[in-house]
């Protein structure tokens, strides 16, 4: 089984991978490869993690210009595709149409012996793809659903297809799991167990979202969705900053009412509920991974009083931060 990625304009092979015929099956150890990208293919990295039935790949790339690459593979795969930032387009005779992903979108794709071309647009391109062996994926596919039965049939007939023609939005829960996958620092068998669990959890969220199809929610306008994501990104990059709801609304070019309603609808939590959760997540990582004391961590995430931070941490995790690690 072989995957090739090449630049036809200069006749240069960029990536060629040979996988076992049984689809990544080997002795159980994880195989990893990190490629550092340089111009004209952008600045950044592309990271692959491979173990039985699962191939994870993600990249963070800065592009000065549109990048066009050609690909070909001689095997079948089910791909969980997450476009975190940037735009991509892929075309192949197998699909009969161009598949385009924009920022914050995801879908599930079945690909049968594909070949075609891909176009990537920046300036920043962040993506994560998880390829599963079809036989492995079908074990998770629920029965008694028209959508899932149709997709199961396309796999059995080896007809390349999207599970649904319309992409879905990446939810907050999905973002948290994607972040866990990309920043996992476990080793060997423990890393494989951890990633298997995260992939299963992520697939659960994708299938649940497809099944419910957000039918109970009133859809928000796409331009408002983009503003909600702009607020989310601002919060993630400015955890220690103090802002009012009005400040955040102005930052995104909207008003307080639209921000409150749209953020809760899109992410299932309030703006400040999300902000607090992200502060506590960051604090927990620092407590586990650094030797900083409570006061230092409290100051970094924007709490002037360490006691207020400790109280907020206990409300979130039901344990005092002083009890975490060796503190």
pLDDT per residue over 144-167, tens digit each?
Answer: 677 888 898 889 988 889 998 889
The reported pLDDT for the residue numbered 139 is 87
Domain(s) of CATH 2.60.120.280: residues in the chain? 2-212
The reported pLDDT for the residue numbered 14 is 53
Instruction: At 283, give phi and psi (nearest 5°).
Output: -65, -40
Domain(s) of CATH 1.10.10.60: residues in the chain? 222-323
The closest of 79, 105, 93 to 162, measured between CA atoms, is 79
pLDDT per residue over 103-126, tens digit each?
Answer: 999 999 998 887 788 888 878 999
The reported pLDDT for the residue numbered 6 is 45
H-only helix segments in 99-187? 134-138, 146-156, 172-182
C-alpha torsion 169→134→17→19, nearest 10? 150
The reported pLDDT for the residue numbered 24 is 40
Helix%, strand%, coil% for the chain, nearest 5? 40, 30, 30
Q: What is the CATH number of domain 222-323?
A: 1.10.10.60
Conformation bin of residue 100: beta by default, left when phi > 0, alpha when psi is -120 to 50:
beta
Lowest mean pLDDT among 37-41, 59-63, 225-229, 253-257: 37-41
How is residue 230 annotated by DSSP? H
Quick one: which H or E segment has residue 190? helix 188-212
pTM equals 0.67
What percentage of the chain exceeds 70 in pLDDT? 87
Mean pLDDT score, 55-74: 86
The CATH number of domain 2-212, selected from 2.60.120.280, 3.40.109.10, 1.10.490.10, 1.10.20.60: 2.60.120.280
Distance CA 190, CA 209 (A): 29
Sign, Cα dihedral of 295, 247, 84, 175: positive
């Amino acid at each position: 089984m072989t995957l090739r990625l090449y630049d036809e304009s200069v006749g240069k092979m960029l990536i060629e991978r040979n996988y076992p015929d049984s689809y990544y099956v080997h002795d159980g150890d994880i195989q990893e490869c990190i490629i550092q990208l340089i111009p004209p293919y952008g600045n950044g990295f592309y990271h692959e993690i491979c173990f039985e039935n699962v191939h994870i790949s993600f990249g963070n790339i800065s592009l000065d210009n549109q990048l066009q690459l050609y690909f070909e593979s001689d095997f079948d795969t089910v791909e969980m595709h997450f476009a975190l930032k940037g735009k991509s387009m892929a075309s192949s005779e197998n699909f009969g149409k161009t598949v385009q992903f924009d920022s914050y979108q995801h879908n599930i794709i079945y690909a049968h012996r594909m070949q075609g071309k891909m176009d990537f647009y920046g300036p920043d391109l962040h993506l994560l793809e998880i390829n599963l062996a079809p036989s492995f994926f079908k074990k998770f596919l629920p029965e008694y659903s028209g959508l899932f039965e149709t997709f199961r049939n396309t796999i059995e007939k080896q007809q390349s297809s999207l599970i649904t023609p319309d992409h879905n939005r990446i939810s907050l829960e999905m973002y948290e799991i994607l972040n866990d996958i990309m920043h996992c620092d476990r080793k060997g068998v423990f890393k494989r167990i951890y990633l298997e669990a995260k992939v299963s959890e992520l697939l659960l969220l994708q299938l649940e979202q497809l099944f419910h199809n957000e039918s109970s929610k009133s859809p928000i306008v796409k331009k408002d969705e983009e503003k909600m994501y702009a607020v989310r990104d601002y919060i993630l990059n400015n955890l220690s900053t103090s802002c009012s709801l009005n400040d955040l609304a102005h930052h995104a070019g909207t008003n307080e009412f639209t921000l409150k309603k749209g953020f809760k609808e899109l992410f299932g939590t309030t703006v400040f509920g999300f902000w607090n959760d992200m502060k506590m997540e960051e604090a927990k990582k620092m407590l586990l991974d650094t030797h900083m004391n409570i006061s230092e961590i409290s100051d970094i995430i924007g709490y002037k009083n360490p006691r207020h931070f400790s109280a907020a941490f206990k409300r979130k995790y039901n344990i005092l931060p002083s009890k975490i690690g060796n503190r």
